[in-house]
């Protein structure tokens, strides 16, 4: 067994410091009583109180959360369907074009995606707002869901589905009762990835949003151009906390699901 060397420890420490030290500083200064975010003047939670009285930030946060939930759910459904078609449908006419169109948003610059969607919405006369942001986020995030689910379906043991079909289950029931529970961790991971991408998006949302719908990243970017305020630090701290709780919860759910299916498989082998 190889020892954990000092070089590995230093590299790991520097890597984690590079990733998480800025977030830690942001969280600390969100409790700064001074209005100047770079000058510490004592501990205070007053900026959190002022944040919850700022209707502009609250409205933008509600729009962002609504868009993220709806678009990630739609992207998960469509991405899972696309992954199933790519992995299970075999060779069919237009498969190469279909797979290329699915994976294109992964490498397409966000500026190009946002501009093309903007021209599409203008061309069909669709007013920009929450609905257009949802369509845009669903379009580019479903590609990420498709990749995650495809990687799980490739390694899936199809004999389990075949056994269900032999026992009289329909193809839909076999997918619903056998395949979907087993690939559920990948589906949940895809939903979380789509949710995070939607929550974090600035470029595409800036092209597809309208005056009646402003997302939180756009609002924060506009506010930061005039200077960083302690309210932004407080808002960012809340977002970090929510994302952390969500990731931990999803990890525990996925782990428990995998352990439960493993126990069920071992019980089936004994019988």
Residue 261's pLDDT is what?
66
Residue 47 CA to residue 196 CA, distance in Å, equals 25
Q: Does 180 reside within a domain?
A: yes
Residue 129 CA to residue 118 CA, distance in Å, equals 11
CB 218 within 8 A of CB 206: yes
Angle ∠(51,205,188) on CA atoms, nearest 5: 85
Q: Does 91 reside within a domain?
A: yes
Q: Does 27 reside within a domain?
A: no
Q: Does 3 reside within a domain?
A: no
Residue 79 CA to residue 150 CA, distance in Å, equals 9
Report pLDDT digits (tens) over 217-230: 888 888 777 777 77
Q: Does 207 reside within a domain?
A: yes
Q: Residue 236 is part of a domain; what is its CATH number?
A: 1.10.3720.10
DSSP state of 129: S
Report pLDDT digits (tens) over 161-204: 778 877 887 878 888 888 888 888 888 888 988 988 898 888 89
3-state secondary structure of 32: strand
Q: For residue 185, what are the domain limits?
A: 45-270
Total domain count, the chain: 1
Q: Does 37 reside within a domain?
A: no
Residue 69's pLDDT is what?
92
End-to-end CA distance of the chain: 38
pTM for the model: 0.80
141: its two tokens: 């995030």
* DSSP letters spanning 248-265: HHHHHHHHHHHHHHHHHH
Asked if pLDDT for residue 236 goes beyond 90, the answer is no
Q: Does 239 reside within a domain?
A: yes
Residue 2's pLDDT is what?
61
Residue 123 CA to residue 112 CA, distance in Å, equals 16
213: its two tokens: 């719908």
CB 80 within 8 A of CB 190: yes
Report pLDDT digits (tens) over 137-171: 998 899 999 988 888 888 877 777 778 877 887 87
Q: Does 169 reside within a domain?
A: yes
Residue 249 CA to residue 159 CA, distance in Å, equals 31
Residue 1's pLDDT is what?
47
Average per-residue pLDDT for the chain:
83
Instruction: Report the candidate in 66, 109, 70, 55 with the shortest Cα–Cα distance to residue 219.
Output: 55
DSSP state of 126: P
Report pLDDT digits (tens) over 28-74: 888 888 777 677 777 888 888 888 888 888 888 888 889 999 999 99
Place of tokens 């529970």: 181
Asked if pLDDT for residue 26 goes beyond 50, the answer is yes
3-state secondary structure of 43: strand
37: its two tokens: 């975010």
Residue 260 CA to residue 254 CA, distance in Å, equals 10
CB 202 within 8 A of CB 221: yes
Rg of the chain over all Cα atoms, to the nearest angstrom: 23
Residue 77 CA to residue 11 CA, distance in Å, equals 40
């Amino acid at each position: 067994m190889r020892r954990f060397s000092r070089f590995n420890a230093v590299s790991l420490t520097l890597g984690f410091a590079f990733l998480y030290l800025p977030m830690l500083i942001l969280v600390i200064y969100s409790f700064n009583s001074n209005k100047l975010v770079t000058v510490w003047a004592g501990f205070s939670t007053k900026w959190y109180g002022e944040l919850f009285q700022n209707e502009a930030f609250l409205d933008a946060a509600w729009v962002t959360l609504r868009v993220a939930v709806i678009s990630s759910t739609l992207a998960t459904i469509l991405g899972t369907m696309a992954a199933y078609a790519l992995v299970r449908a075999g060779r069919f006419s237009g498969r190469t074009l279909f797979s290329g169109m699915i994976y294109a948003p992964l490498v397409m610059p966000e500026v190009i995606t946002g501009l093309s969607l903007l021209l599409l919405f203008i061309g069909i006369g669709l007013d920009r707002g929450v609905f257009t942001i949802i369509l845009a986020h669903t379009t580019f995030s479903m590609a990420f869901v498709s990749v995650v689910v495809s990687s799980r379906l490739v390694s899936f043991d199809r004999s389990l589905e075949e056994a269900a079909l032999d026992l009289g289950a329909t193809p839909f029931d076999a997918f619903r009762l056998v395949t979907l529970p087993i690939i559920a961790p990948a589906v949940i991971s895809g939903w979380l990835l789509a949710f995070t991408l939607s929550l974090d998006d600035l470029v595409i949302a800036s092209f597809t949003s309208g005056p009646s719908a402003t997302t939180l990243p756009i609002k924060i970017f506009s506010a930061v151009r005039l200077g960083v305020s302690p309210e932004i630090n407080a808002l960012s701290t809340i977002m970090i906390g929510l994302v952390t709780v969500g990731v931990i919860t999803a990890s525990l759910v996925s782990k428990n699901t995998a352990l439960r299916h493993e126990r069920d498989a071992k019980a089936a082998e004994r019988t």
